[in-house]
Amino acid sequence: MASLNAVFAGDLVVGESYPIGSYLISREAILEFAGEWDPQPIHMDDEIAARGFYDGIIASGLHTLCIFQKLAVTHVYRDWEIIAGRGIRDLQFLRPVRPEMTLTGTVTITAIEPRDESRSLVHKFGELFNDAGELVFTMRAEAYMRVRIDPTG
37 belongs to a structural domain: no
pLDDT number for residue 153: 54
108 belongs to a structural domain: yes
40 belongs to a structural domain: no
Condensed to tens digits (0 to 9), the pLDDT of residues 80-97 reads 999 999 999 999 999 999
Q: pTM of the entire structure?
A: 0.92
Domain count across the chain = 1
Say if residue 137's pLDDT is above 90. Answer: yes
Please state which of the ranges 14-23, 24-33, 40-49, 68-77 shows the lowest mean pLDDT.
Answer: 40-49
pLDDT number for residue 90: 96
Is residue 88 within 8 Å of 143, Cβ to Cβ?
no
User: CA 104 to CA 136: how far, in whole Å?
Assistant: 10
User: CA 77 to CA 99: how far, in whole Å?
Assistant: 27
116 belongs to a structural domain: yes
Coil, helix or strand for 22? Answer: strand
29 belongs to a structural domain: no
For 7-134, strand residue ranges (E) read 17-25, 82-93, 101-114, 119-129
pLDDT number for residue 52: 86
Condensed to tens digits (0 to 9), the pLDDT of residues 45-76 reads 989 999 988 899 999 999 999 999 999 999 99
CATH number at residue 82: 3.10.129.10
Q: How far is CA 2 from CA 110, 118, 119, 122, in A?
A: 24, 13, 14, 18
107 residue type, one letter: V
53 belongs to a structural domain: no
111 belongs to a structural domain: yes
39 belongs to a structural domain: no
What is the extent of the structural domain holding 121? Answer: 9-24+59-146
pLDDT number for residue 31: 97
Name, in order, each residue with C-beta under 8 angstroms of 89's C-beta and a sequence gap of 6 or more: 139, 140, 141
The average confidence (pLDDT) of the chain is 94
Nearest one of 151, 75, 147 to 106, comparing CA atoms: 75
Condensed to tens digits (0 to 9), the pLDDT of residues 98-135 reads 999 999 999 999 999 999 999 999 999 999 999 999 99
pLDDT number for residue 23: 98
